[in-house]
Amino acid sequence: MDNSSQLIVLLGVLLLASSLFGGCFSSLQEEGHPRIAWPSELHPEFFLPNGNLTADRNSIITYYSSHTWLPGGGGVNYYGVEATLDVYNFDLEHGQVSAAAIWIVNRGDGHPSSLSAIQFGWHIFPWLYKDSRTHFYTAWMSGGVSGKGCMNMNCPGFHKSSSSIAPGHVISPVSHVGGQKSNITMRIFKEKYSGDWHIHFGPNGDSEPVGYFPKSLIPGLIDNPVEISFGGYVAHRKPRLSPPMGSGYVAYNENSAFFGNLKLIDQDGNDYTIDKDLPYTADMKGCYNPSVIDSAQFFYGGPGCID
């Protein structure tokens, strides 16, 4: 593992620890597990899909199954992405998370304190909602001296503009393997003139603007290139089992979950269909590996991992 992937593992684990252990919400901490110290103003649950990301620290384990567009390839830079993906649900418990997400990331100088990121998508996160339903969520993080960030509308940050869809809402109905299918379309882009990061979201082909992260909220994403990732992740804390990801089927199965209609968005708001494969992050155990991107689509997920 190189330094940068170790760093990201550590960061992901700290933040995950914050969420699974209860972080600053000590009343939600489960008995018998130590609380991980974390600045009280920071209570994001934030995970990064880059590097070699199976980490085991204090028995918290995270797996990713995602692709990443990396800036600096000599061509245009992109400041947004759109995808349509199917949505599932599982019965999970405290100490388990399963999600499908888009990440916008700038690593700053490489230290956790200079990391800036936006994440949104669907997830099942019983610790956060006290239910095991599938929710639409948004999250942001701005490192630096203050180290701020949070999820949904739990703190000021995301500006909601839709009266019908808000971060944290339950997504229903969801897809059933071999039966009815339900998808969502997600789009994020940096608006050229304001520099704000806008999010569109909606079910079954009807995405609509839901709000934006103001430029000033995340200074590290201003005038900087960003990494753009999309895919699934799961996390668990032993003795809970690693949960299903996607549809619960591995990629290359007829029942596996997908990200489709993938497009990158440039600084002028133009869409570019992703017509070639991109680097991917998979776990070392091969439990949830993503497929290659073909025709702007890939498959990801798995039933769980024995660890």
How near is the Cβ of 255 to ligand NAG at its closest, in Å?
14
| Residue 68 binds ligand NAG (CB under 6 A) | no
**169-188 footprint of ligand NAG as x/- string (CB under 6 A):** --------------x-----
How near is the Cβ of 133 to ligand NAG at its closest, in Å?
20
**78-117 footprint of ligand NAG as x/- string (CB under 6 A):** ------x---------------------------------
How near is the Cβ of 189 to ligand NAG at its closest, in Å?
20
Residue whose CB is less far from ligand NAG, 113 or 204 = 204
How near is the Cβ of 248 to ligand NAG at its closest, in Å?
18
| Residue 195 binds ligand NAG (CB under 6 A) | no
| Residue 5 binds ligand NAG (CB under 6 A) | yes
Stretch of residues binding ligand NAG (CB under 6 A), selected from 1-9, 57-65, 91-99, 247-255: 1-9
| Residue 260 binds ligand NAG (CB under 6 A) | yes
Q: How many CA atoms lie within 13 A of 300 on its CB side?
A: 32
Query: From CA 148, how far away is CA 67, in angstroms rounded?
Result: 26
| Residue 52 binds ligand NAG (CB under 6 A) | yes
| Residue 138 binds ligand NAG (CB under 6 A) | no
Residue whose CB is less far from ligand NAG, 132 or 297 = 297
Residue whose CB is less far from ligand NAG, 18 or 242 = 242
Binding site for ligand NAG (CB under 6 A): 1-2, 5, 52, 84, 183, 204-205, 260-261, 284
